[in-house]
Every structure is written in structure tokens, then in C-alpha cells.
Amino acid sequence: MGLFSFLKLVTIFAFVLGIIFISKMTKHGGHRHHWRSREPAGEDQAILDDIARVAERMEQRIESLEKILEADDPKWKERAR
């Protein structure tokens, strides 16, 4: 698998995590205004913390991959568009 394919896969994974996060938040809150006005409960906070950790690790990995690509080919961003 090429590096560009891997970046696409990581992007899709982040998108799916975002959809799951949004669906969980709306599902737990019932109505939109209820979940916005309340603080997350213990289990909800744990889920939010886990998602935040996963997102931070993914961001670090993507940044590392971009640095590797930049070192290998400084014009990779132009070709990727």
C-alpha cells in the first residue's frame, strides 16, 4: 500500500470516528438542547477522553507522515491535490 493510500485510509478513519462521536452525543442527550446544556456524566466523559486521546495520536501520526513525505518529496502536496 502506498503512502498516499495510507493517508486516505487515515482520513476515512478520522471521518468515521467523528460520525460515531456525533451519533453517540446526540443519542445520549435525547434532544439537542439537553446534551449541550449538561456536563458529561462519568461514562460519557470517559468516552470523550478516549476519543480525544485517539484523535491526538492520529494527529501526531499524520504530522509524522507528512514530515516523512516532505523529506522524501518536497512537492508531494501539490501532486496530492
* pTM (two decimals): 0.48
Q: How confident is the model at residue 69 (pLDDT cuts 50, 70, 90)?
A: confident
By the 8 A CB rule, do 35 and 28 touch? yes
Q: How far, in Å, CA of 42 to CA of 50, rounded?
A: 12
Can you say whether residue 73 is alpha, beta or left, with left for phi > 0 and alpha for psi between -120 and 50 degrees?
beta
Return the C-alpha cell found at 73: 518529496
Q: What percent of the chain has pLDDT over 90?
A: 1
Could you state, in order of their start, the residue ranges of all structural domains in the chain? Answer: 3-80
Tell me the per-residue pLDDT of 2-28, one tens digit each, with 9 for 90 and over: 666 777 878 888 888 888 777 777 665
19-54 burial: b if 16+ Cβ within 10 Å, else e: eebeeebeeebeeeeebeeeeeeeebeebeeeeeee
The pLDDT of residue 58 is above 60: yes
